[in-house]
Structure 1
Amino acid sequence: MTSLDPRALRNAFGTFMTGVTVVTSNDANGHPLGFTANSFTSVSLDPPLVLVCLANSSTNYESLIAADGFAVSILSETQTEVSNTFARPVDDRFAHVEWRLGPVGSPLIEGASAWFDCAMHKIVDAGDHVILIGEVKAFDNTPAPGLGYVRGAYVTPSTTAGALTQDTGIIVSALIERAGQVLLVDAGDGALAPPEAVVGSEGVSAALDKLIEATGLTAKPGFVYSVYEDADRKRQHIAFLCQAADEGPQKGTFVPLDDASFGTVTDAATRTMLERLSEESRLGDFGIYYGDQISGEVRPITREGL
């Protein structure tokens, strides 16, 4: 379990806000209950508050609005079936997964990328939903990549990369973030850029692994952050958002995620991508860019319930 240090909480929030989650609590008889959702959002660091949205029509509605608290387990990329179990009408969802009680008393899903155990702070009516605001009393996170859900489908680093390996003329880059900073390396002629490489016959996943390994960091891909056509180099560019462990890089340097740090990034498309990452990290609300190196659209990762 990680201490409630604001910096540690901020890092955990920034890492996992877009993942698929299982929200859990206990009913009046102490029986565990839960449902799959990806409407989990940070509200405040001081005090540490998070919120989830629950439909008034949910079978869990009466129990949750009467509960003393709830927990949020951010599922790892290997837990698709756990997500499906808690999204379907099942008599005893907890009979099909490994779980334990958290420090505050709500059930936690074993093997999750992260979890937040909360006391109920406030309940807000919001149309046909209710907003449950919880105060984080205990939490923990791991380097395990989270499970994403975008445009009606699950997204994991392995499936996303695997689907792209049949493409040709691809540049892959790693946006390696840690504690509000991003890794930049020498791109030549005094310019800096995130680590990148041309993908060969090994495929996107292997190329990305080698790219990260060359930095000397322990980092794992999170999700595809940007996909765009680079007309100047006649290649498709795919950027993965990655989270690094707390260690020094053998290649490159970490710089703060703010516009002032990107003055030596000479590639306009890369600088725009970094500026977007800076803003989205501040807000804790991420999207995926599609387009070319000049213009495109950012498609937000859905926060509505599955």
Structure 2
Amino acid sequence: MSLDPRQFRNALGQFTTGVCVITATPPGYKPFGMTVNSFASVSLDPPLILWSLRNDSECLDAFNKSKTFTVNVLASDQEPMSNLYSKKNEHELVSDHFRVGKSGAPVLRGALTSFECETWAHYDGGDHIIVVGKVVEMDNKPGAKPLVFQAGQYRELR
């Protein structure tokens, strides 16, 4: 069976996801962030999460060099931040958008939840690299509404 790539992407887009900005500051780089919706839990013991990054991403080299990163799950009022860090070649963090976390990785202010991670492993995932991180710190704001994405647009949970 041969799948049309556009139809496959549209079908995958029917799955409603949260929106995250992955942040890091590897040696030789300024703090940066990249919007993704490819975030998932992996394990409770040890506490592992994953996200994926295209093999041709302009951020690939930086994430390959980073020993720590933060998965910042965005709140519903952070749509402008999601849009900002989703632009190609526009990933340097605005200084008032973040603080430095206990792991040394940037943590976005106002995020619904932030998971500071040590890089655990990278796996081949076709046209993506699957990045697995071990959570070493987290910050959670229960009760806030998440930013969600489905069928090519932001949505609101009711």
The TM-score range, normalised by the shorter chain, is: 0.7 to 0.9
Matched residue, 2:60: 61
Residues 29 and 62 of structure 2 are in contact (CA less than 8 Å); yes or no, is this contact kept in structure 1?
no
1:147 matched to 2:147? The reply is yes
Question: Once the 2 structures are TM-superposed, how far is the Cα of residue 28 of structure 1 from its aligned partner?
Answer: 2.3
The one-letter amino acid paired with 1:148 is: V
1:127 matched to 2:126? The reply is yes
Provide the rounded CA distance (Å) in 2 between the counterparts of 1:130 and 1:92: 19
The one-letter amino acid paired with 2:145 is: P
Tell me: CA distance 1:117–1:44, structure 2 relative to 1, closer, same or farther (3 Å).
Answer: same
Residues 104 and 137 of structure 1 are in contact (CA less than 8 Å); yes or no, is this contact kept in structure 2?
yes
Residues 69 and 106 of structure 1 are in contact (CA less than 8 Å); yes or no, is this contact kept in structure 2?
yes
Provide the rounded CA distance (Å) in 2 between the counterparts of 1:65 and 1:93: 17
Task: Say which SS state the counterpart of residue 79 (structure 1) adopts.
Answer: helix
Task: Say which SS state the counterpart of residue 88 (structure 2) adopts.
Answer: coil
Matched residue, 1:72: 71
Query: What root-mean-square deviation, in Å, do the aligned CA atoms of Structure 1 and Structure 2 show?
Result: 1.7
Matched residue, 1:94: 93
1:34 matched to 2:33? The reply is yes
Residues 77 and 147 of structure 2 are in contact (CA less than 8 Å); yes or no, is this contact kept in structure 1?
yes
The one-letter amino acid paired with 2:135 is: V
Tell me: CA distance 1:152–1:95, structure 2 relative to 1, closer, same or farther (3 Å).
Answer: same
State, as a whole percentage, how many aligned pairs show the same letter. 35
Matched residue, 1:21: 20
Tell me: CA distance 1:107–1:126, structure 2 relative to 1, closer, same or farther (3 Å).
Answer: same
Tell me: CA distance 1:105–1:44, structure 2 relative to 1, closer, same or farther (3 Å).
Answer: same
Greater Cα radius of gyration, structure 1 or 2: 1
The structure in which a higher percent of residues are helix is 1
Task: Say which SS state the counterpart of residue 87 (structure 1) adopts.
Answer: coil
Count of equivalent residues: 142
Task: Say which SS state the counterpart of residue 103 (structure 1) adopts.
Answer: coil
Question: Once the 2 structures are TM-superposed, how far is the Cα of residue 93 of structure 1 from its aligned partner?
Answer: 3.7
Task: Say which SS state the counterpart of residue 94 (structure 1) adopts.
Answer: coil
Provide the rounded CA distance (Å) in 2 between the counterparts of 1:21 and 1:55: 15
The one-letter amino acid paired with 1:58 is: S
Matched residue, 1:185: none
Provide the rounded CA distance (Å) in 2 between the counterparts of 1:108 and 1:27: 14
Task: Say which SS state the counterpart of residue 84 (structure 1) adopts.
Answer: helix
Tell me: CA distance 1:34–1:92, structure 2 relative to 1, closer, same or farther (3 Å).
Answer: closer
Residues 25 and 69 of structure 1 are in contact (CA less than 8 Å); yes or no, is this contact kept in structure 2?
yes
Tell me: CA distance 1:24–1:47, structure 2 relative to 1, closer, same or farther (3 Å).
Answer: same
Tell me: CA distance 1:20–1:97, structure 2 relative to 1, closer, same or farther (3 Å).
Answer: farther
Of the two structures, which has the highest relative contact order with CA contacts closer than 8 Å and spacing of 6 or more? 2
Tell me: CA distance 1:89–1:57, structure 2 relative to 1, closer, same or farther (3 Å).
Answer: same
Question: Once the 2 structures are TM-superposed, how far is the Cα of residue 84 of structure 1 from its aligned partner?
Answer: 0.3
Provide the rounded CA distance (Å) in 2 between the counterparts of 1:84 and 1:30: 21
Q: Which runs of 5+ in 2 are unaligned?
A: 1-15
Tell me: CA distance 1:124–1:115, structure 2 relative to 1, closer, same or farther (3 Å).
Answer: same
The one-letter amino acid paired with 1:111 is: G
Question: Once the 2 structures are TM-superposed, how far is the Cα of residue 90 of structure 1 from its aligned partner?
Answer: 5.1
Residues 85 and 93 of structure 1 are in contact (CA less than 8 Å); yes or no, is this contact kept in structure 2?
no
Task: Say which SS state the counterpart of residue 61 (structure 2) adopts.
Answer: helix
Q: Which runs of 5+ in 1 are unaligned?
A: 1-16, 157-222, 224-239, 241-306
